[in-house]
Structure 1
């Protein structure tokens, strides 16, 4: 049985709780992943998804209808929007532990932390699907 350590992304991007949403928007505008970890002094405090960001920002940003008030939403701090105390797993957890959390907690990523709550990686449901797809291709009859 695969452990989470074998599936997780080992270099998650993190931001500070005092960073602005501008910082997070710039990250999401330039990458293909959908979550950043919120870390302070090496300890996981929360998670911020691209969906959380979109909910917090004015829909008028970048349009002809944009006003200074719309742009001000970019100045909100990460800690005002992030999910606090996210569900986590440790690296030695099994894939079924993650699948259970995805199904029961309604999350789309799971930070992987050590016993002191220091981030070690991040696992998304896409990581699991990708692994299952590779496994299926290796075992498929030719």
Structure 2
């Protein structure tokens, strides 16, 4: 089975200068766990919901919120993203993706074309939903 058979094709991406409130809202409202970051149409990084949880102060929106807590929201995507994420082409074997995910403990792999544009995304949930037992 090929990656193109299991990948999600309608991928929402954010630009490098997108601010964390926008990223956080996209992740929450769309139910995503990963957002590719692009610059001039090319993949440059990826942000996960875990990245946001790790960086955004837990006091934002609470009674004891302070200025320094709000400052965490002023960061841009490029300051938070994982740079040079592992990627795959659409014609790669799904078994190769599974092996990479297990080997390097990742849960998402962006699918890119020859111009490094994001054309899909594969997560462990996608793989499980297509698994044949």
Task: Identify whether the pair has TM-score above 0.5, normalized to the shorter chain.
Answer: yes
1:130 corresponds to which residue? 129
In structure 1, what is the Cα distance between the partners aligned to 2:71 and 2:120? 32
Q: Does 1:94 align with 2:93?
A: yes
**Highest Rg: 1 or 2?**
1
In structure 2, what is the Cα distance between the partners aligned to 1:92 and 1:11? 17
In structure 2, what is the Cα distance between the partners aligned to 1:48 and 1:69? 22
What is the deviation of 1:29? 2.0
Moved over 3 A (4+): none
2:53 corresponds to which residue? 54
Q: 3-state DSSP class of the match of 1:37?
A: strand
2:19 corresponds to which residue? 20
Gaps of 5+ in 2: none
What is the deviation of 1:68? 1.9
TM norm structure 1: 0.90
Superposed CA RMSD in Å reads: 0.9
* Cα deviation code 1:48-98 (max 9, x no counterpart): 000001111111112221112211111101101100000000000011011
Q: 3-state DSSP class of the match of 1:13?
A: coil
TM norm structure 2: 0.96
What is the deviation of 1:111? 0.3
